[in-house]
Amino acid sequence: MLTVAKGANAALMFFLELGALGSVVYWGFTVSPNWVLKIVAGLGVPVVMAVLWALFAAGGGANATFPLHGIVRALFEIAWFGGAALALYSAAALTPALIFATVYVVNAVLRLIWNQV
């Protein structure tokens, strides 16, 4: 049973990563009435975030070019997912942003307890 829960938590992390990118895409396309700015923000910012994730955190660090560990990894994740939650709050409302942030925190705590980091 614990193995299933750990697998579900790992899958949840993947979906949180996708949700973070989706939140930033949504924010980018609502940031301004100017279409050029919408396209730049809606496509450019998520690409930058995806590149940062790939460089420093992909696959729990196993697939990252420059893997981060320990407190640096934690700070990077907090900034990355926190930025996504702020983008969601800015584009939508407080409730979806709080749900996203809460799910991330629960996932992160379980990853620490189960040594999935």
Q: What confidence score (pLDDT) does residue 101 get?
A: 98
Q: What confidence score (pLDDT) does residue 40 get?
A: 95
Q: What confidence score (pLDDT) does residue 55 get?
A: 96
- The answer to whether 36 and 27 are in contact (CB under 8 A) is no
Q: What confidence score (pLDDT) does residue 61 get?
A: 77
Pick out the chain residues at pLDDT < 70: none
Q: What confidence score (pLDDT) does residue 59 get?
A: 82
Q: What confidence score (pLDDT) does residue 4 get?
A: 96
